[in-house]
């Protein structure tokens, strides 16, 4: 009887210690799980980039420093897409800089690669088409609004803006030569990236 009580007490102590340790880490992934997730993301990124002709290797990747570029851009969508089957968000648009400013601070590192058709993949490359930096941002051409229906109940709606001004923040990287924007498009084989705009970073 005493041995049974001791075993029960020991099990309770182990469980309590496990719960305390989990609470202290905030339920975060353990280091091996986190590393595995990062490796899988890198492999997926390399596959997506390879499909659009961009080379990915760690030696060419840029580590953001203590300054970055804040670019105010005007996005102007082509009025007549070359392919009538292309959706509005996959249409190509012209990007032009209206102003730029170097600012102090460090850009956050993009860790997740959860693609969505309502996002844009923003990236920079060098003159050898190596990936320098990338980020996943909400598509600035999408405006979410709430409108009343026939019963005066509000419902969410998405408005597509063919022309818009927005601000992109990119690393202050002297090696980067071009800014590219890709629209993630869902297919039966998964997401593919469609190039929708390019912008030279060299005057």
SS3 content of the chain, % helix, strand, coil (to 5): 25, 40, 35
Mean pLDDT of 121-139: 96
Does residue 12 lie within any of the structural domains? no
Confidence (pLDDT) at 158: 81
Does residue 143 lie within any of the structural domains? yes
Q: Would the pLDDT of 5 be above 60?
A: no
Does residue 18 lie within any of the structural domains? no
Residue 86: pLDDT band with limits 50, 70, 90: low
**CB-CB contact of 120 with 142 (8 Å):** no
Mean pLDDT of 69-91: 77
Greatest Cα pair distance, the chain, in angstroms, is 84
Does residue 6 lie within any of the structural domains? no
Confidence (pLDDT) at 112: 83
**Cα separation of 192 and 49, whole Å?**
10
Confidence (pLDDT) at 156: 75
Confidence (pLDDT) at 80: 63
54, 125, 201 from 180: Cα distances, Å: 11, 8, 10
**pTM attached to this predicted model:** 0.77
Structure tokens at 1: 């009887």
62, 68, 124, 172 from 65: Cα distances, Å: 9, 7, 15, 7
- How is 141-192 classified by DSSP, letter by letter? TEEEEEEE-TTS-EEEEEEE-SEEEEEEEEE--TT--EEEEEEEEEETTEEE
**CB-CB contact of 153 with 199 (8 Å):** no
Does residue 62 lie within any of the structural domains? yes
Nearest to 98 by CA among 169, 166, 196: 166
**CB-CB contact of 131 with 61 (8 Å):** yes
Confidence (pLDDT) at 8: 42
Summarised one tens digit per residue, pLDDT across range 133-176 is: 999 999 999 988 777 777 878 777 788 888 999 999 999 999 99
Question: Which is more confident, 59 or 38?
Answer: 59
Greatest mean pLDDT among 6-10, 86-90, 196-200 lies in 196-200
- Per the prediction, the chain carries an average pLDDT of 83
How many domains would you assign to the chain? 1
Confidence (pLDDT) at 174: 95
Mean pLDDT of 17-41: 62
Does residue 118 lie within any of the structural domains? yes
Q: Would the pLDDT of 45 be above 90?
A: yes
Confidence (pLDDT) at 139: 94
Does residue 71 lie within any of the structural domains? yes
Range of the domain at 183: 38-200
**Cα separation of 39 and 133, whole Å?**
17
Does residue 91 lie within any of the structural domains? yes
Q: Would the pLDDT of 55 be above 80?
A: yes
Confidence (pLDDT) at 30: 55
């Amino acid at each position: 009887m005493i041995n049974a009580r001791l075993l029960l007490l020991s099990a309770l102590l182990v469980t309590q210690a496990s719960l305390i340790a989990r609470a202290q880490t905030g339920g975060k992934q353990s280091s091996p799980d986190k590393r595995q997730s990062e490796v899988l993301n890198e492999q997926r990124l390399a596959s997506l980039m390879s499909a659009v002709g961009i080379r990915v290797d760690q030696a060419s990747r840029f580590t953001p420093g203590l300054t970055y570029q804040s670019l105010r851009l005007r996005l102007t969508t082509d009025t007549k897409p070359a392919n009538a089957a292309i959706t509005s968000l996959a249409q190509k648009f012209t990007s032009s800089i209206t102003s730029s400013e170097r600012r102090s601070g460090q850009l956050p590192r993009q860790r997740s690669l959860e693609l969505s058709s309502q996002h844009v993949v923003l990236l920079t490359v060098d003159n050898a088409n190596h990936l320098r930096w990338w980020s996943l941002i909400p598509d600035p051409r999408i405006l979410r609004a709430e409108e009343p229906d026939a019963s005066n109940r509000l419902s969410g709606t998405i408005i597509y803006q063919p022309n818009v001004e927005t601000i992109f923040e990119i690393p202050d990287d002297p090696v980067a030569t071009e800014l590219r924007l890709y629209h993630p498009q869902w297919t039966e084989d998964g997401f593919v990236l469609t190039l929708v705009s390019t912008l030279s970073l060299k005057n």
